[in-house]
Structure 1
Amino acid sequence: MVDRPNKPSALVSTPGLPPQAQVTISHNNSRVSAVLPTGDSIEVLLHGATVISWKDSSGEERLWLSEASALDGSKAVRGGIPLVFPVFGTAPDHPAVGQLPQHGFARITRWEFLGKSTSEAASDSVKLDFGLSSENLDDKLRSQWNYKFGIIYSVTLERNSLSTSLVITNEGDEPFEFQTLMHTYLRVKDITSLQINNLENSPYVDKVDNLTSKTQDGPVTITSETDRVYTPAGGPKVPIVVADASGQAVYSVVRDTLDDVVIWNPHEAKANSIGDFAPKDGWRNMICVEAGAVKGWQRLEAGDAFEGAQVITPGPL
């Protein structure tokens, strides 16, 4: 093509189309970033397909990330949105996953970036797709969990929300069981002045109190180490709302198919005992609201698929 330095502007860009999201791959092909024309942005580490940053249009960071977290692929990320699969915690009494590391392998394995999709009609939205399959696992992990599977993880950034969704497919000839969870660390100004609503009258397992089964009475407040697995009484469509002292919503989390919600905050003593938790008083500025399917086991027959998703909508910090 002949170089035409004074070519008409119509040859430079197509008129009428709004500005589109900009997607870049950086850090030696280890991170994918997206920025909307509005200024909203996300950054995803291919190690674990972990969302490590979500900023609104004003540049306010919405996810909490430990200052001591490893971002070089050497271990799971402390903060952001790590993915749990195929086991929540450890399950030594469940032979199929008994040898796997805590929270499984999805968060410690490199995923593939499958590409982006945008809509010409909606310039304030971008979807990034990531993939993980049996072929991505190393020999040790494959020997510990020898099932054929495929996962498509989609991260969708919109002007006023962040959506994450999983499609897990059994690509083998035999069924398998699994648990999964989106371990979301939300950034807050002061956890001691917040409460979590819409878990009232919900049954939960208190992991800090010897796995005792309890029922939530009133809003959830954080006054000590908190690690609870709720099955919200209102079901997945009722939002879990993190609210400030005035009742203003700071975050709203709506789930699809994911019936359980883990609420976690280490508080002072536990935070001090976690090596990669920094700063040590960072527990004041985070709350984990984790959408998942972790009570019991999901069973996938050969060829079947499981879908789960969450949508996080922020309010003023």
Structure 2
Amino acid sequence: MGHSAGIWDQKSEFEVVKDWNGISQVVLRSPRGASARVSLHGGQVISWRNDRGEELLFTSSKAIFKPPKAMRGGIPICFPQFGNCGSLEQHGFARNKMWSIDNDPPPLHPSDSDGKVFVDLLLSPAEEDLKCWPHCFEFRLRVSLGMNGDLAMISRIRNIDAKPFNFSFAYHTYLSVSDISEVRIEGLETLDYLDNLCQRERFTEQGDAITFESEVDRIYLGSPNIIAVIDHEKKRTFVIKKEGLPDVVVWNPWEKKSKSMTDLGDEEYKQMLCVDGAAIERQITLKPGEEWTGRLELSVVPSSYCSDDLDHFRS
């Protein structure tokens, strides 16, 4: 990552450094030692560490950190589409664009900043974006770290055009896991899902938790706003809380597909799992002047919590 002399913003408690391509990154540090790093290329969170310095997000050892390609890992933002359809590039253009630091954002609810270190970023469409997606928008993103090291992302997308537009969205979150075969997801049982490995055919989840023994690429529909990813070997649980994001994408490429991906090591699928808060099945529609908000909060707790204690987080 970048190591140049940083610019420290006293007001928001973040530091701006440059990576080896000269691209600015924002470093957030909580008082207890947790940290997050956000690249202005894509508005992408590329690192999230707990107060012991352990990396909680997966990044491929073969990741390409050079624009215009999005980096394989961290939390790329998929907007204005998820997947591959029409004239837009896969997962849209937001993750490939240069964002700017927004020094004068419109106010958020006080709870979105109290006791947190945060940075506000802004993306507006460039001329080339309007050619392939002809809609004027403002995309404001707040990335924050709580006192306890929780990572939160708040996206606000406003239609500043004269006509309505639709979009889909996902926080494409690469979680770092000890071994994919030792991981399970709780909170998606009994839900319907679209299976991308079967032309988006619709199925109903039968398991009492989701476990992994082959490639998985699914969109779970109408999901609860809190789910848990339990890593048995590390005895830790990722708790994912979300608002405005009814769907959850679950993806692991497994062995065969990993070998075909130039920016993913052949065996690295074992150390990663993507669990995305998303809005895909029903696109978001914004009339002129309307704004949509999608929130994601990630926290890590000891696995002794498990599912019985998720009610504690729901309050």
Same fold (TM over 0.5): yes
2:17 corresponds to 1:25: yes
User: 1:169 touches 1:306 (CA, 8 Å); kept in 2?
Assistant: yes
Name the Cα RMSD after superposition: 2.3
Structure 2 vs 1, CA of residues 37 and 116 (structure 1 numbering), >3 Å: closer, same or farther? farther
* Regions of 4+ moved over 6 Å: none
Post-superposition offset of 1:107: 0.4
The Cα of 1:210 is off from its aligned counterpart by 2.6
SS in 1 for 2:198: coil
Secondary structure of 2:299 counterpart: strand
Aligned twin of 1:264: 251
Number of corresponding residues: 283
In the aligned structure 1, how far is the partner of 2:229 from the partner of 2:89? 31
User: 8 Å contact 1:44–1:52 — kept in the other structure?
Assistant: yes
Deviates more, 1:41-50 or 1:154-163: 154-163
Give unmatched runs, 5+ long, in structure 2.
1-11, 304-315
Describe the superposition over 1:102-132 as per-residue Cα deviations: whole angstroms up to 9, x where unpaired.
1111001100112499x9xx99620111100
Residue in structure 2 matched with residue 102 of structure 1 by the alignment: 90
| 1:215 to 2:204 alignment | yes
In 2, Cα distance between the equivalents of 1:202 and 1:249?
24
1:241 to 219, 222, 228: 228
In 1, the alpha carbon distance for the partners of 2:39 and 2:233 equals 36
User: 2:213 and 2:47 mapped to 1: Cα distance?
Assistant: 27
CA gap of 1:315–1:142, structure 2 versus 1, over 3 A, is same
Residue equivalent to 2:217: 227
Larger Rg: 1
Match of 1:131 among 122, 138, 149: 122
Structure 2 match to 1:5: none
Could you tell me whether the CA contact under 8 Å between 1:224 and 1:267 is conserved in 2?
A: yes
Q: 1:246 to 1:34 in 2, by over 3 A?
A: closer
CA, structure 1 residues 263+142, in 2 after alignment: closer, same or farther (shift >3 Å)?
Answer: same
- Written as runs of structure 1 = structure 2, the 5 A alignment for 1:172-191 is 172-191=161-180
Provide closer, same or farther for how the CA distance between residues 250 and 176 of structure 1 changes in structure 2, counting only shifts above 3 A.
same
**Residue aligned with 2:197, SS:** coil
Instruction: Give the whole-Å Cα distance in 2 for the aligned partners of 1:124 and 1:35.
Output: 12
Match of residue 292 from structure 1: 278
Match of residue 310 from structure 1:
296
In the alignment, which residue of structure 1 is the partner of 2:137? Answer: 149
Note the C-alpha offset of 1:81: 0.3
CA distance in 2, matches of 1:156, 1:301: 29
Hey, what's the Cα distance between the residues in 1 that align with 2:14 and 2:138? 28
Q: What is residue 252 of structure 1 aligned with on the other side?
A: 239
Q: Give a deviation string over 1:211-246, Cα, whole Å, max 9, x none.
A: 22111112111110100000145x32xx21011348
Give the deviation of 1:310 after TM superposition.
0.8
User: Helix, strand or coil: the match of 1:164?
Assistant: strand
Contact 1:155 1:165 in 2 (8 A): yes
Could you say if the C-alpha distance between residues 40 and 245 of structure 1 is closer, same or farther in structure 2, counting changes exceeding 3 Å? closer
1:21–1:125 contact (8 Å) kept in structure 2 = no
TM-score, normalization: structure 2? 0.84
**SS in structure 2 of the partner of residue 272 of structure 1:** helix
Cα distance in 1 between the residues matched to 2:192 and 2:234: 23
